Amino acid sequence: MTRLRCAILDDYLNLALSVADWSKVKDRVDITVFNQPFASQEAAASALRDFEIICAMRERTPFPRAMFADLPRLKLLITSGMRNNSIDMQAAKDHQVVLCGTHWPRDPTAPLTMGLILELTRNIGRENARMHAGEFLQKHVGIEIEGKTLGVVGLGKLGAKVAGPAKAFGMNVIAWSPNLTAERCKEVGVGYATREELFSTADIITIHVVLSDRSRGLVGAADLARMKPTSYLVNTARGPIVDENALLETLKAGKIAGAAVDVFSVEPLPVDHPFRKLDNLVLTPHLGYVTKETFIAHYSQMVEGIDAWFKGEPVRRLA
């Protein structure tokens, strides 16, 4: 039997081979792990041209139509998650590539969101860095979130999950999104707000909508201008949902107290990006889903997916 080549992409933490049992498919597959992001689409196509199977981690490496055209040997593409906006699913179908996904055991983004809210309001990371640097007096004065208003943009599964701990901390929670109803807010136990009300009254605003053509640039300059000068913005959803240029200018001008951003239009965030120079912006490198439990689940299901495909019984098909 001819052995096929499998590429595991963007394994920045070098975990893929240790958290899942790849021996289940190694009798049929030669595995190559790519630990670094590709410099360009052309570099990715060149590196992956001889692979029949590719395992992709989230949207780290895009697969537009041109990519499928450049990968004539590709037969199976497995992405973590059951949705990946960086993959042209119609192109996969047109090139007869079987596209499969993996299920999330849980979504750890909600706890990260609360962690970023606590960092913005209590400066835990900043004071930790100062302590390690030898400073012995605190520099930052925190604010309490109890009694403050959290504005949730998007009250789906994740937005609702964030509302729970926020209420446990004593926050007043309100929500808005283009299709949100008062009934859904009542079901979750939060207040329903208009767009204008949420951005003008919330002390902290957190983004939890899915990236799509409709949500790209959803939070723009006008929304940021409505925010109070003492308010904060948190984005753990997707970078393009917030107008990054508008956010940059808002923070540079000090028109809001600060922001915490885990997701960016270009990832990894370029080392010369102006975001890195702002002291009122907390930056994390897309940590929302980065937990050991998440990687165990995704890579184990990728092994299962490859084995099932060899048996002619693909699981969790997307296209």
Question: What secondary structure does DSSP assign to the chain, as a single string?
Answer: -PPEEEEE---TTS-HHHHS-GGGTTTTEEEEE--S--SSHHHHHHHHTT-SEEEE-TTSS-B-HHHHHH-TT--EEEESSS--TTB-HHHHHHTT-EEE----S--THHHHHHHHHHHHHH-HHHHHHHHHTT--S--------TTPEEEEE--SHHHHHHHHHHHHTT-EEEEE-TT--HHHHHHHT-EE--HHHHHHH-SEEEE----STTTTT-B-HHHHHHS-TT-EEEE-S-GGGB-HHHHHHHHHTT-SSEEEES--SSSSPPTT-GGGG-TTEEE-SS-TT--HHHHHHHHHHHHHHHHHHHTT---SB--
For the stretch 69-103, pLDDT in tens is 999 999 999 999 999 989 999 999 999 999 999 99
For the stretch 183-212, pLDDT in tens is 999 999 999 999 999 999 999 999 999 999
Helix axis angle, 109-122 to 157-168, nearest 10°? 40
Which pTM value belongs to this model?
0.93
Percent of the chain residues topping a pLDDT of 70: 100
The pLDDT value recorded for residue 107 is 87
Q: How far apart are CA 93 and CA 289, in angstroms?
A: 28
Predicted confidence (pLDDT) at residue 319 exceeds the cutoff of 80: no
The pLDDT value recorded for residue 116 is 98
Catalytic residue positions?
238, 267, 286
Considering only CA atoms, which of 171, 167, 193 is closest in space to residue 180? Answer: 193
Tokens of 11: 């394994």
The pLDDT value recorded for residue 1 is 60
For the stretch 121-150, pLDDT in tens is 999 999 999 999 999 999 999 999 999 999
Amino acid letter at 138?
A: Q
Tell me what the mean pLDDT of segment 260-269 comes to: 96
For the stretch 27-47, pLDDT in tens is 999 999 999 999 999 999 999
- Residue 106 — very low, low, confident or very high, per pLDDT cuts 50/70/90? confident
Average pLDDT, the chain: 96
The pLDDT value recorded for residue 259 is 98
**Cα–Cα separations (whole angstroms), residue 172 to 118, 120, 205, 290:** 16, 18, 12, 29
- The residue written with tokens 């640097």 in the block is 133
Q: How far apart are CA 48 and CA 32, in angstroms?
A: 10
Q: How far apart are CA 98 and CA 104, in angstroms?
A: 20
Instruction: Judge contact between 229 and 203, C-beta under 8 A.
Output: no
Instruction: Output the CA torsion sign for 154, 220, 81, 318.
Output: positive
Instruction: Judge contact between 316 and 301, C-beta under 8 A.
Output: yes
Predicted confidence (pLDDT) at residue 68 exceeds the cutoff of 80: yes
Considering only CA atoms, which of 165, 173, 118 is closest in space to residue 143? Answer: 118
Strand order across the beta sheet in which 98-100 lies: 29-33, 4-8, 53-56, 76-79, 98-100
Residues 6+ apart with CB under 8 A from 141: none
